[in-house]
Structure 1
Amino acid sequence: MTPQGTASKNGISHVLPPIGKTRLTWSGLLGSEWIKMRTRVSTYWLGGIGVIMMIAMAIASAIQGSNGDVSADSVMVMATGGVVGAQFCAMLLGVFTITNEYRTGQIRSTFNAVPKRLQSLAAKAAVAAIASFVVTAASIVVSLIIAHVLSGRGLAFGYFSPEGLRMLIGAPLYMAFIAVLSLMVGAILRKSAGAVSIVLLMFWALPGSMVILPPSISGIVAAFLPSTAGAALYGLSSGAGDQVFSAITPQSAFSLPVWGAFLVLVAYVALFAAIASVVTKRRDV
């Protein structure tokens, strides 16, 4: 037998850490959250649907505009146009990352392993953001190749202008923002249905309701909505007429610069993250 507080393996005794002294490192937290995410069936469904939507949009718009005279930046718009639909997959991914644990009661085990709850919340947000960014970036690369071929430009990719690079980075960044914002809403409400409803209200219902406001006001208000700010990150800035999906991409008479749109999205995430932090720390589970 070995003394209390020790363990024996192959005849060698090891001193065990005192109960309550073992803590996960930040890399361990990320690893555990990644295991949770990749073992959920919904993750693969949402990721697969998002990829299909991105590629399908690129194929449809490239075939429609296949005249051989399509500009390079317009091809990038074709490749990123699917973000309009795929963003709903990022919303659901962010919400389910936190609400599934509250639904199953797994959150108790999580907070027992990580008593500092905000560290767990931050790890969930980081994993959701990284997953959304990587999947979106990979989808855009595939969509870009397909759009190039189908639009008649072949495989001539020597066009990486600042505008094209902004769109290439801005779309995955916007999807990461959506995932984190949705996760924070889920952390506040703890219910999937309620969180999804609030996020849909912000990204879909509010932009559509701008028509009830006077034109002089609606343009300014719409520019500061998260969906419009996101479109400023990955949309073509040379004008609405060049947008392949201008009919469904949020438009505004008053437009924010790219850095302004980025700050607006950061402000939204910071606001909901602050509320989620307070709720997570104070509420029982």
Structure 2
Amino acid sequence: MTTPHPQQVNQQAYAPAPQVPAAAPAGNWQAGPGGLYTSPIPVTRTHLGHAISSEWTKIKSVRSTMWTLGVFLFLVIGIGLLVATQTNDRDYVNVPFSLPAFFGLVLGQICLITLGVLVVSSEYGTGMIRTTFTASPQRHRVLAAKVLIYFAVAYVTSAVAIGLVGLATSAMHSGPEATGTEWAGTVFKGALYVSLLGVLALAVGSMLRHSAGAITAMLGLVLVPAILPAFLMISQSTRKIGEKMMDYNAPNSLAKIFGLDTESGHGNPQLWLLIGLTVAALAGAFALLEKRDV
């Protein structure tokens, strides 16, 4: 075995690194023993579309999506059709044919709230959020993709469920006594309201990063304003607070959207309030996402 000459060792140690030609594409070359190697895999800049594609793959692959949406459809359509069969033509004078869907949405909204939380908190629970942020360091892009995909899925599912109940009810009660009202708007606004509740839950899940805690917080936000007015309206000093809480809680907001109470703009003020709360919660979620380690 021969020992290399010291001068040869010095020449190898201080050999200049291969130079990158000015025309070589960034991120597409690799230095090799024989010069430059050009990768056959094209290098493209990532954008929001890639994040949306990734989140769509996630949301359609996990079992929680199928279970929560399946239960939601069962509640809205099942309860809606059950209510429709127990009514007659005269019950739809000046009320929309989609009204039976309201009774299913009161329970079904809990399913969308749960799914909204799980869309983001489940990754924190399993630790997969580290892999997600490693693959996509732009955290705001990941959260934006989650919001867009979830809202699209929740809105389409809700609109289809409400629309099917409305069509079935109009077919069952299409007599001359059932004058009815225009019910296409209830499909749009009803689906928008429950979908925004889910997006609000997604934002809360992103801020709390804990499934049970976020679901509990959202259930309190939905149920407490529906129960507390009964106690607040006992006293004259808190009666106005109770009345406002009664007008803007989730069940009464949906009731106004579906025409059970038309004195307050068909639920438009309640819908705008929910939009404001959702935007504020999303702003907080985006701000906290950039400040935390994971």
TM-score class normalised by the smaller sequence: 0.7 to 0.9
Match of 1:211 in 2: 230
The 5-angstrom pairing of residues 37-186 of structure 1 reads 37-67=59-89, 70-71=92-93, 73-150=95-172, 152-153=173-174, 161=182, 164-186=183-205
Does residue 280 (structure 1) correspond to residue 263 (structure 2)? The answer is no
Give yes or no for contact 2:76–2:103 (8 Å, CA) kept in 1.
yes
Looking at structure 1, the residues matched to 248 and 115 of structure 2 have their Cα atoms a distance apart, in angstroms, of: 24
Give yes or no for contact 2:140–2:289 (8 Å, CA) kept in 1.
yes
Give yes or no for contact 2:119–2:202 (8 Å, CA) kept in 1.
yes
Match of 1:245 in 2: none
Q: Match of 2:81, SS?
A: helix
| Residue 282 of structure 1: how far off its partner (Å) | 1.0
Give TM-score, length-normalised by structure 1. Answer: 0.80
- In structure 2, relative to structure 1, the CA distance for the partners of 1:59 and 1:278 (3 Å cut) is same
Looking at structure 2, the residues matched to 181 and 25 of structure 1 have their Cα atoms a distance apart, in angstroms, of: 25
Give yes or no for contact 2:96–2:180 (8 Å, CA) kept in 1.
no
Give yes or no for contact 2:55–2:149 (8 Å, CA) kept in 1.
yes
- Deviations, residues 175-230 of structure 1 (Å, cap 9, x unaligned): 21011100001001111000000000000123211212133331123334455445
Q: Aligned pairs, how many?
A: 256
Give yes or no for contact 2:113–2:201 (8 Å, CA) kept in 1.
yes
Residue 278 of structure 2 aligns with an amino acid whose one-letter code is V
| Residue 86 of structure 1: how far off its partner (Å) | 0.7
Match of 1:264 in 2: 273
Give yes or no for contact 2:201–2:214 (8 Å, CA) kept in 1.
yes
- Deviations, residues 3-60 of structure 1 (Å, cap 9, x unaligned): 6279xxxxx963654xxxx653222211110100000101001111101111112122
Mark the structure with the bigger radius of gyration: 2
Match of 2:16 in 1: none
| Residue 235 of structure 1: how far off its partner (Å) | 4.2
Q: Match of 1:4, SS?
A: strand
Give TM-score, length-normalised by structure 2. Answer: 0.77
Point out where structure 1 has 5 or more consecutive residues left out of the alignment: 7-11, 240-254
- In structure 2, relative to structure 1, the CA distance for the partners of 1:153 and 1:275 (3 Å cut) is same
Match of 1:243 in 2: none
Report the identity percentage: 27
How well do the aligned residues superpose, as a CA RMSD in angstroms? Answer: 2.8
- In structure 2, relative to structure 1, the CA distance for the partners of 1:16 and 1:28 (3 Å cut) is closer
Does residue 238 (structure 1) correspond to residue 259 (structure 2)? The answer is no
